[in-house]
Structure 1
């Protein structure tokens, strides 16, 4: 009796759309937790590997003892007697020049302000060296962060059509296995190459989870309004992962160690895998209706416009992930937990934006929500470089996250809607395109951020992507009333008829 009750309950759970939504949301949450947990960890960890002697904390005394680091007006002789002058810090000629200038000005004129100015001029070379090292590290960190998106971008065209042949559950479970392995490699990796491998491997798992998850939701929620709500909740799971990841990684790395956050994530991923195994029962499921080809979807201008909005919306935050923590280290001397916490406002507002504009985007028009979102993203990106303290980053980061949530939660269900009205209702390939658009932003952003910071500077890099968002926003108007499959066929038939008529007229004229 109990066995029959258990079997009946289990069968109802397996048929539940809400449970599928929960599983997809958890998968996206863990994937994006891993994606963002590394943000505050990797820059500092790599800098510590490359500078084991702690050059990130240059000695303010520059070769002076603690007692003589800040000389007073009566301590010139003491400074001279207690000086330790290594050749790579401060030469004896430089120190003598500093002392001569101080003596020439008179003992009474060498106050604290003058001493600070003299010491700052001596500190400049070391500060400049640290600044240069941080800029160089931005390139390496950016390439590592971009590797996941590049691999995911390459994997999506394979996973999308594969879901048409075997269904969504097997690729979804495969994504869990790969993510679990990637998390363990992150936990125990101690070199740039191993961490790079872990990040790239995560891209394959993310492709399987994202494409299968979104396709599964689009298949289970056929009504456009319900689909928008469901995808808003699923993207809320993604947002929660982005929300928890940076502060979780920063605090755990600061107070426990590098391996700790990844071991916690691997345990959570194992629980998600068991839930998938029990409820989804991964097996081959064949699609009855013929799927649209990836080529036909990729050549649809309306799908391209919707996908492009996702790319440009996420490119700004993707550029900030590797460059903002290092910029904060360079300009604000930010601690590790502060570097992670700075993304917290963006993550919270993204969570709010996705859940709010899932249903609201359908009501006000998803094209309008995306247009407004792109404009707001541009303004927020332009405000970030103006910050001089960590508190100044709260409002622009919050606005940035909210606006990205507007675009993502509007354009993801819009892709399913476009497939419904312009192609056939099979969703693997279109969400492969949507996920590829998301990945393109996170591939181009980090890959270019290091080079752009080195060439044009952090400020102009963000100004440039803001201008691109402003220029792309008006294209959203084309999604206001896209033509349906019937209108598309009528248009093609009309064009063919006009071609035949012109050809027939030309033949008559020749005769």
Structure 2
């Protein structure tokens, strides 16, 4: 069943990534103003944050399976509804509900994966899930762009919506009930931690800070890399190849024996190392214009990403139990979505150049790394004094 969870993660992230190249042109085609285009693009991420947090409570109350198949079913129906969209306002409404329902999927999938993984191989399981996300990052935009060119933008939503509905039915029929609900039945006195308690948990804060910094950099990269490539007079396909280079690098680290690193070293150290590498990659992007060097830098960026993503997931697993893991993953993916929104909106609002945006990303990521380092050292000293 663990492999079917990977399929669900793939479907959920293909839905997310397939939208990237098509929403702005679709909104423009419907006659949207620049403001409405921005709302259409950003609405999904905004309501996704709400869905992530709501999903956490629902998962801890009813188990991840129910949230998964209901979320998949509702998201599938909403995707089908895009075929009925004829105005910018209708598109914004569809994006509102799409983000809300889509926010249920990833926390539920990762909670289910965490609760079913072998205890000694949590890091490896999360590394493999990272490979799935990387694969979706390659397949999603390619599928969205290709299908739009050949059959029209609405067929992107119809096909992914149909795939969601089939996956929802299979999840309902095939997945066994999750551990969270059974634990509540055994011990009704244990209710798990509140969101405030989870935010105060220092190791979990490592994960939340790391997820925000990672996706802030992703927001900057997705927005500014195509602009940098355009300014250098390279074709649009170069941006896609550079993004694929980073994704394939991360996938290789996730699936090769290097994935054993995530169970061998402390997750917080792997996370901080990844942030430093990511910051270096962004800094190099800001000062480099030679194409061959840009490909090498995207390899560096991919290594940083590959160290961060499994580590923050594994930290959540390590420092939660089945009663509050859903809320913890919901918070994690809320920070995930928030990072993308803040990263792209901030750089757009400041009206900086691509190189300036990469420097802002460098500052945010390396400052996050420094804060994380201080927190780790403080916790280590506190632990040593107790012992």
Normalised-by-shorter TM-score class: 0.7 to 0.9
| 1:350 shift after superposition | 2.8
Q: Tell me, yes or no, if the aligned pair for 1:152 and 1:439 is still in contact at 8 Å.
A: yes
What TM-score comes out, normalization by structure 1 length?
0.65
* Matched ranges for 1:216-227 at <5 A: 216-221=112-117, 223=119, 225-227=120-122
> Which residue in 2 is equivalent to 1:38?
19
After superposition, residues 427-466 of structure 1 pair within 5 angstroms as 427-452=325-350, 454=351, 456-466=352-362
The alignment of Structure 1 onto Structure 2 pairs a total of residues equal to 377
Q: Deviations over 1:85-140 (max 9, x none)?
A: xxxxxxxxxxxxxxxxxxxxxxxxxxxxxxxxxxxxxxxxxxxxxxxxxxx95x76
**Correspondence for 2:47 among 151, 154, 160:** 151
Q: Is the 8 A contact 2:254 2:306 kept in 1?
A: yes
1:235-250 paired onto structure 2 within 5 Å: 235-250=130-145
**Are the counterparts in 1 of residues 217 and 343 from structure 2 also a CA contact under 8 Å?**
yes
Look up the SS of the partner of 1:419 in the other structure. coil
Bigger radius of gyration: 1
1:375 pairs with one of 276, 280, 301? 276
C-alpha displacement of 1:279: 0.6
**How many Å separate the matches in 2 of 1:332 and 1:140?**
29
Could you say if the C-alpha distance between residues 295 and 231 of structure 1 is closer, same or farther in structure 2, counting changes exceeding 3 Å?
Answer: same
**Corresponding position of 1:303:** 204
Q: How does 1:285-296 map to 2 (within 5 A)?
A: 285-286=181-182, 287=184, 288-289=186-187, 290=190, 291-296=192-197
Shift of 1:256: 3.7
Aligned to 1:78: none
SS in 2 for 1:269: helix
- Contact kept? 2:28, 2:37, Cα under 8 Å: no
Partner of 1:233: 128
- Aligned to 1:320, the other structure's residue is in SS state helix
* 2:170 counterpart of 1:275: yes
Residues 425, 23 of structure 1: alpha-carbon distance in 2 compared, 3 angstrom cutoff: same
- Aligned residue for 1:82? none
Q: Provide the C-alpha distance between the structure 2 equivalents of 1:189 and 1:341, rounded to a whole number of angstroms.
A: 32
The answer for the alignment partner of 2:80 in structure 1 is: 184
Report 1 or 2 for greater relative contact order, CA contacts < 8 Å, sequence distance ≥ 6.
Answer: 2
TM-score (norm 2): 0.84
Structure 1 residue 417 corresponds to structure 2 residue 318? yes
1:36 is displaced (CA, Å) by: 1.4
Q: CA deviation at 1:259?
A: 2.6
Please identify which structure carries the higher helix content.
2
- Partner residue in 2 for 1:114: none
Residue number in structure 1 paired with 2:3: 22
The answer (yes or no) to whether the contact 1:358–1:409 under 8 Å persists in 2 is no
1:399 to 300, 316, 321: 300
